[in-house]
Structure 1
C-alpha cells in the first residue's frame, strides 16, 4: 500500500508545500546575497514569483503574471525595514502574491492575521490563556502570542489580509510594531523586539463596503504597491487558463479537454462589462455592481469544468458556464439583471459565433 504524501491529501496546500520542489531548486542554485533570515535572495524570490528556467534545467512556474517591476519593488521593500501594502481591487492576486512572497522569503506563509470587522487587538498584539492567568497571574507562560509577535521573534514575514476590514483603532496597534520594531507587554514589564528578517505584508482594497481607511500615521509606515487588473485579454486568458489547470489538478476533477474558447468568452464578457465598452469600442455598456475580477472568471470556469465532468459529456460547453456567469454578474437582482439582459441582447445576440452562449444564458435567465 502506497502512503500518500501530506500535500496529496490536502485540499489546499500552503505555497511552501505545493511548490516545495521549486523552492528547494532555487535555494540550491541561488548564489546571490540574501538578507538576514531570508531563505532566498531577492533575485530568486522574484524568479519564483514570475517564473523562469534555472541553469540545471529546472522550470520555475509563474505564480504572478504582470509587470516585473512591481514584484521587484515589492521584494526590495521587504528587504528594508518598510512594511509592504498590496493594494488593488478584488481579484488582483493580492492574497496570492502575499502568500508566495512569505513562502519564498521565510519558508512559511502561515503567520497570518485575517482581517474582519470583528478582529480584536489581541490578533495584532497578544492574548492570554485565561486558565493559566487565573492560576498563575500574568506570566510569559500565560501569554498567547499573535502571529505578529511570533514573526517578530523568529525574524519572519507576517501577513495581514484585508487590513481595511479591521477597525481603525485595532489597525493603529501596528504603528509601534512597524516604526519601533518592538511590541511592549506592559503587564509583564517586558517587550518583544523584532529579529532581523521580520516584516509585514498587508493586503487591502477600497471597493468593498464597510472598509476602514488607514490613518495617515499607519499609511506612512507602508510602501504601497498597487496590483492592477490584467492589461490585455490575452494576458488574462493565460492567467485564468493556468489557475484553472492547477485547481482542476488539486481538486482531482475528471479530465476535460482544453476549454480555450469558453475561457476567452468568459474573460471577454467580464472585461467588456468591467470597462463599460465592447472590445471593438463601438458599443457603450452599463457596468454591474460587482467587480468581475480575474478570480471570479477562474471560479466560473472551474465550476463549469465540474459540471461538464460530472453531469455533462466531458466537454466544456456554453451551457456549463452560463449559470455561473449569471451568478457572477447579477449580484443585485434588480439593477444588475437589467445590465445583464441589455448586454445579452445588444452584444451577445449580435455575435454569430456566440449563438450557443446566448441560448444557454437565455435559458438560465428564464
Structure 2
C-alpha cells in the first residue's frame, strides 16, 4: 500500500542512515545520532542531507541540547512556525520513531497521557498487565524514546499537570497494579504550544518549570519565507504525485508578499500602514495556498501556475471573519494591489473571487 504521507523516519531514512554511518561523536544514551548530527539532519549539510528547518541554527542547537538533558522541550510560537514539523524530525532523528504522539484537544483526558484499560479484559480478569493499554508517553518511557505532545495548551489545566510527576520523577505510577513504570534512558518529551488560537489554557508554573522553552519565530525575511514555501511545496507535490508544473517563483513570492504585508500591517516598502485581518496568515497557510494553486493549474489550467490559480486560496486564507475581513481585504486590493506594477492580473482574479 502506498501511503499519502510517510513518517519522517521513513521518508528520510537514507539521510538518517548516512548520518549515522558517519557519526563518530558521543551519543546520549538511547539516541540514534549525536546532538551534532541531529542538528545537521534538521538544517542540512548543503549536499545529501536536505534542510528540514530554515531558521537560526542556534535555536536548533538549544532545542537538541535540552533533549540531551533531563529537561523536556517546549516549542512555542504562533501558528505556522513549523513547531510540529520540527518536533517530528527531532523525534525521528533521536529515537528513530516519531509516532509516539499525544494530540492535545479540549477533550484530552488523563488516560491519553498515562494509560487506559481494555475494559473487556478488565471486567473479565480484573486489573492486570494484559488489560492495561499504555499511552504513547508510557511507551516512550518503557522504550527510552521521545514522546511528542501537540498543542499542550489546548488541554485542560488539570490534565496538563498529569505530566508533572512524569517530568520531575521520571516515573509513572500504576496504583491499580501496585507498580510503576520507570523511564528508560533516552526518554523525553517534546511539546508544542501557541498563544494565538482560541481555547488556550495557560501552563501552570509548576509544569512550565519542567520545560525549556524555545520560541520559533516567523521567517525573518521575505526571501527566507519564499525559500521555505518553495521547498515544502515541492516536497508536497512529489508526495501527492501532482502533475509537473514549471517552477513559479513569481507566484510564490506574490503569495508570501501578500501574507507578510497583511500579517505585519505594513507594505513591503514600509510606506503604507495596513489593517491586519483576523487570520494568522502563517507560512503553513502560504504553502497550502500554493499547493492548491498547483493542483488547479495542473488539472484545470494550462499547466502553468498563474495569478488566478492562487487568488481564491489567498482570499480564503485572509477572509476568516465575514464581518471585518472582507472590508480589510477590499481595501488592500484597491490601495495596494491595484497600484502595484505587474499585479493587475492578480488584482482582477482576486476581485472576481
Q: Tell me the CA shift for residue 334 of structure 1.
A: 1.6
Secondary structure of the residue that 2:242 maps to in structure 1? coil
CA distance in 1 between counterparts of 2:268 and 2:209 reads 39
Match of 2:330 in 1: 341
Name 2:5's counterpart in structure 1.
12
Select 1:272's aligned residue among 261, 265, 269: 261
Structure 1 residue aligned with 2:30: 37
Structure 1 Cα separation of the partners of residues 67 and 146 of structure 2: 9
Q: Which position in structure 2 is the counterpart of 1:153? A: 142
Are 2:313 and 1:320 equivalent residues in the alignment?
no
In the TM superposition, 1:86-101 aligns within 5 A as 86-101=75-90
**Structure 1 CA distance for aligned equivalents of residues 165 and 65 of structure 2:** 22
Q: Give the deviation of 1:284 after TM superposition.
A: 0.3
Q: TM-score, normalised by structure 2?
A: 0.99
TM-score (norm 1): 0.96
User: CA-to-partner distance for each residue in 1:105-143, whole Å, 9 max, x for gaps?
Assistant: 000000000001110100000001111111111111111
Cα RMSD over matched residues? 0.7
Q: 1:85 aligns with which of 67, 74, 99?
A: 74
Residue 241 of structure 1, CA deviation: 0.2
Q: Are 2:97 and 1:128 equivalent residues in the alignment?
A: no
- The offset of 1:352, in angstroms, is 2.3
**What is the CA distance between 1:206 and its match in structure 2?**
0.6
Within a 5 Å distance, the mapping from 1:113-124 to structure 2 comes to 113-124=102-113
- Identify which of 216, 219, 227 aligns with 1:238: 227
Consecutive aligned runs of 4 or more in structure 1 exceeding 2 Å deviation: none
In the alignment of these two chains, the number of paired residues is: 353
SS of 1:132's partner is helix
- Structure 1 residue 175: deviation in Å? 0.2
Residue 355 (structure 1) aligned with residue 353 (structure 2):
no
Map residues 149-298 of structure 1 onto 2, 5 A cutoff. 149-298=138-287
CA distance in structure 2 between the aligned counterparts of 1:280 and 1:133, rounded to whole angstroms: 66
Which among 297, 310, 330 is matched to residue 319 of structure 2? Answer: 330
